[in-house]
Amino acid sequence: MTYIKPSFRHPKAPVNELGWTRQDYEGGLSTLCAGCGHDSISAAIVDACFQLNIEPHKVAKLSGIGCSSKTPAYFLSGSHSFNSVHGRMPSVATGANLANRDLVYLGVSGDGDTASIGLGQFAHGARRNLNMTYIVENNGCYGLTKGQDSATMDTGSVNKKGDRNVSSPMDVARLAIEVGATFVGRSFSGDKEQLVPLIKAALSHRGFALLDVISPCVTFNNHAGSYKSYEYFRSVKEVMPLDFVPVREEITASYASGTTCEVRMHDGSLVRLTKQDSDHDIEDRQSALQAISHYESQGKVLTGLLYIDRDSEELHDVLGTARRPLNSLTEQELCPGSRFLDSINAGLR
């Protein structure tokens, strides 16, 4: 087994605006099973951060427990990282975010970590509109414990042993829309053309951005009869192609037709989207939920940016917290003196 990636790169490897190459965004060599969809998602995260010119040390990557939650070791080795308790990543992310609002928060979780043990944490993170990107690497099974069906496993899907799943699946994208997430997308690890711009848009979004990324488990859930295999998911996905235009780039074309729409992000960048369906209003919760259900009833899975609320208030706005990270506050600001104490006391009389 090779644990070291050769240090040589393509001699013409491009550099981004920071003067860094893609290599500067890589991490350690993955120890996941060969062919795991999670590795493709890690590569897409590397591409997205490289292309967005994000400095790795301005990123905090957080995860829980599971195959998915191991992956932060395999990208952005120059970033802050916290591998937390099973299902508790949203709490740690909330604490970190409140302490230092200047970092980019990237949570990586799996279907077990999110939809089973961490369901409550996940729902409250979304409900509070915590400013973070939350990626669910969704393979429909517990790969780390020999592939038992997870809560996202579709009804009727056959596991490796041959048993058919009878329980209803948890749809984390639909749940996120229901409980108040302000950016919800779905994608596929095998479709980087859609996944990379979607991650870029999510990272540029201000508020809770949930990405449900179907990521086949090659070892336990990539056989005939599985609804989350490479082959099956490719056959049922309905793709809404996506293009992300960064702030500084000139916008060369404009679309106004029923199926193409442009969404201006909070930071000025632009998401250009080709919808499958002109009735789908991606800025309307009900419409987004209807679009998901509509395709589901036809045995299809809609992928792309499903829902966005561009101008929401994130947790810091709601709480009215300090504008600067806590670690940059000095004694003077933290202990403003008895004059301020007196005025507070006076206000309580």
Binding site for other proteins (CB under 8 A): 1-2, 4-13, 29-30, 33-37, 39-40, 42-43, 189-190, 192, 216, 218-219, 222, 230-231, 234
Compute the distance between CA of residue 284 and CA of residue 307 in angstroms, rounded to an integer.
Answer: 7
Compute the distance between CA of residue 254 and CA of residue 306 in angstroms, rounded to an integer.
Answer: 21
Residues in the chain: 349
Tell me the closest approach of the beta carbon of residue 137 to other proteins, in angstroms: 14
Across 222-284, where does the E strand assignment appear? 237-239, 242-245, 260-264, 270-274
Pick between residue 157 and residue 312 the one whose CB is nearest to other proteins: 157
Pick between residue 23 and residue 287 the one whose CB is nearest to other proteins: 23
Tell me the closest approach of the beta carbon of residue 41 to other proteins, in angstroms: 9
> Coil, helix or strand for 293?
helix
Copy the structure tokens of residue 208. Answer: 């809770």
Query: In terms of C-beta density within 10 A (0-12 exposed, 13-18 middle, 19 or more buried), how is residue 179 classed?
Result: middle
Amino acid at 60: A
Pick between residue 39 and residue 314 the one whose CB is nearest to other proteins: 39
Amino acid at 98: L
Pick between residue 183 and residue 227 the one whose CB is nearest to other proteins: 227
Compute the distance between CA of residue 196 and CA of residue 194 in angstroms, rounded to an integer.
Answer: 6
Tell me the closest approach of the beta carbon of residue 226 to other proteins, in angstroms: 12
Pick between residue 37 and residue 118 the one whose CB is nearest to other proteins: 37
Compute the distance between CA of residue 278 and CA of residue 172 in angstroms, rounded to an integer.
Answer: 24
Compute the distance between CA of residue 208 and CA of residue 192 in angstroms, rounded to an integer.
Answer: 22
Tell me the closest approach of the beta carbon of residue 32 to other proteins, in angstroms: 10
Under a CB-based contact definition with an 8 Å cutoff, are residues 60 and 89 in contact? no
Pick between residue 10 and residue 248 the one whose CB is nearest to other proteins: 10
Across 178-246, where does the E strand assignment appear? 183-188, 208-214, 237-239, 242-245
Listed in sequence order, the residues at least 6 apart from 193 whose beta carbon sits closer than 8 Å to its beta carbon are 241
Compute the distance between CA of residue 248 and CA of residue 268 in angstroms, rounded to an integer.
Answer: 9
Pick between residue 43 and residue 198 the one whose CB is nearest to other proteins: 43
Pick between residue 36 and residue 175 the one whose CB is nearest to other proteins: 36
Q: Closest by alpha carbon to 303, among 253, 236, 246?
A: 236
Tell me the closest approach of the beta carbon of residue 159 to other proteins, in angstroms: 18
Pick between residue 60 and residue 195 the one whose CB is nearest to other proteins: 195
Tell me the closest approach of the beta carbon of residue 34 to other proteins, in angstroms: 5
Tell me the closest approach of the beta carbon of residue 246 to other proteins, in angstroms: 20
Tell me the closest approach of the beta carbon of residue 39 to other proteins, in angstroms: 5
Query: In terms of C-beta density within 10 A (0-12 exposed, 13-18 middle, 19 or more buried), how is residue 257 classed?
Result: exposed
Tell me the closest approach of the beta carbon of residue 233 to other proteins, in angstroms: 10
Classify strands 183-188 and 301-308 as parallel, antiparallel or unpaired: antiparallel
Under a CB-based contact definition with an 8 Å cutoff, are residues 269 and 244 in contact? yes
